[in-house]
Structure 1
Amino acid sequence: MSIYEPSSNESQLKTEKINSVRNDSCEILEKCKHRVTVLKISSNMHHRNFEDAILLSLSNARRKAEKSNQQHKLANELILAIAWNRFDYAREYLLNDETRPKYTEGDLHRALLNALCHSYIDCIELLLDFGASFKNLTHDDLKRLYDQPSHNPLPIADEEEPLKKSRYYADYLKRIGFKTIHSEEKENGLPSQSAVQDLFLWAIFSNRFELATTPLNLLLGAYIYRHATRLKLNTDMQEQYHKHANQLEEIAVSIIDMSYEYDKFFTLSLLEHEVDTFNHMTLLKFAETVQCKSFLASRCVQRYLQKIWYGNIDYTRKYIDLRIIACTLSIPLIPIFFWTLRYVEKNNHVNIKICPKSELHNSSKPENHPKHRLWCNKIISFYRAPIVRFYHYAIFFILFLILFSPIMLVNYFPLNIYGESR
């Protein structure tokens, strides 16, 4: 009996422990039964998508735990869906016409900030369409974004220092005259004056390539990626940075060309518009500064340069080059046929402003072709055109060679090498 007594005692102790654990578990389940979700594997609910099932269970637990404020429940459920990247679930159940009145501007702002932290493009676009805005981002929000861990952020000169906004701006943007607003310490809780641009720069510096937009910022992003290749010794990362830079520049080219097809005058005026943040540089000058060759070779930029090259002369007419040459070669180099050329009026003062798409054409006036133009103004416009000056320089240079070459030949050609009389 003594041999079997210890074993029976041990089994009894184990049974008591099991019963104790079972009773405690049942008691806990009874208290928190609203947090329990039963999922049947054989059921067609959620199409056997376990991620949706887990999200539903967490949402149910959150709803029953927060009994006070229905609006607060919905906002937290939206943040939870964003964390799980359940775009379809958020669009179908959380962000629709029925739930729209239940969200405040602060709820959408918190959700947008969480979507930015996770770099979920679909969720960001959905929130923007639902009423969220980048303009409400504060300096505290930008600081939080910079503090977020990022996979392969762009390098800085001193790798031992922490990755901060001011350090990135000093290493990448100071040399091209980029102006920053130093008001973070005093206005941390206020919206940033350049929130959209700061957000774009954060996306580039943290190597979140998919968040980049707008032509000027796209060119800036291409410059930043190309500058990063000089600081990174890893060949694979250098190739990735070059690829991102080329893609950003291609997107900028496609945007500016599409805008040119939609409204030529507005787009050409946009190239001349000065930006205060970039030391009053125009878009074209900035592209030249950061050496975006594909952008400079784009169709829109070439039309702009062609417009400058011909001055006030309408270059859209047929055989315009031959007509200008004929006028330039008129003896004695006076354009006696200048009245046959068609001229255009240029607006010297252009106001670029953001307006709805329906009002875009109303904000810009196309070049007009006056029926009557004074002959003296035609002569002035003709001589001021760069192409006419080029033809005049070429003509005078050729005449100089024709007249000066015989003199050089006569003076230096050895006609009397044997000392004979002429």
Structure 2
Amino acid sequence: MITRNFILNYKQVYFNLKNMAEISYVVVFPTIFSKNKIPQLITNIKKILKIKNQQFKSVKRDDNIILVDANDPVFASSAINLLFGIEKIAIARQIKNDFQGIVSEITDVGGNLLLKGEKFLVKVEGTSKGFLTKDVEIAATSNIIERKQNLGAHPGTDENHDKILYSYLTKNNAYICIFSDKGNNGIPYDVESQKTICAIYDELSAVSCFETIKQGNDVRIIICYRQKSELQNLAKIINQILPRLAQDNVELEFFELKIKPTGIKNYLIYVNSILEIMLQYSYNRISLALSPLVFSSDFIDNSLKSVFEKKKIPIIPLSGVDVNLFDDAKEIGLERNLKKLENIVTITSNEVPDFAKKEMEFAIRTKKKISVKVGPNNVHDILDSFEENH
């Protein structure tokens, strides 16, 4: 899956790569929370590259960054950027950490990347040897202005620039970035040793599952629905989440709850009934798709009480998420579903209804297991598995 920025810049990046003689690497910048978890992030990178059929020669560490020698840096970058624990990802040239060499390389890269009249910003970070990174920025900026006068490119500011020419220095090497993209932040998947169960049944619960994974939890996903017409939408949502797990095959379990799909009270009954299904599992950690910005404190307290009574541990990944919830929704491809999400988060009810016991017991009898091989046909594979029963 290629991110929006990669789609917009793919042709330009590919052209620049083809016209640069040096080998270009994928450089992964871990988040500050992942710097003590780099071995797990390296493991996840290798897994996602294999799942996405991206060939690579090596994945290794250089100080606090990860260097990937991939056959196709553009598509490898796109695959890696599905993972959590990444602040930024770049395609870059590697040279020695030497002042003159760095300035020269930034000048060359800038000449290839800048378009006529663009405002550019040279940014250098990392470990300098016998010089200041600011000196590199000033020298490279002057060189680009002098040598590329025909472009009419001129320096911008941190707040106002068209293109950033970013470089990062490690103890021995310098990485001159050709292209960079923001990561998903969080921490690497499967850092936590215990498995967490989470349910996906609508847009809010999908974002909650996304956040659960983002916080390093190894998840077991169940899917709940009230009518067959919901399955297609849920399958599309799941399709956006599965690649984040860095697994070849994922086992999903589906439950049908015959609860009316309209009305706030019915929705709250639905949520409570799904919680009861999750509590039937032996897993010790339960992810609750609840937010104090959406649900009443009484409703949340009741859910927590139910979990504690079963001697399990509740996780509320949305507790610190506000408007970022909509950013997460866009990240997992829910742009067209934002109105539905808005309707869910504007719930106004202080009711704490019981779960629907009969409907929950019926749902457990409808349980359907599906093993999904993560790939481009996930949606069809899920929907086809339901058609096989008819």
- Range of TM-score over shorter length: under 0.3
Report the structure number with the largest CA radius of gyration: 1
Whose RCO is larger (CA < 8 A, sep 6+)?
Answer: 2
TM-score (norm 1): 0.23
Give the TM-score of the pair, scaled to structure 2. 0.24
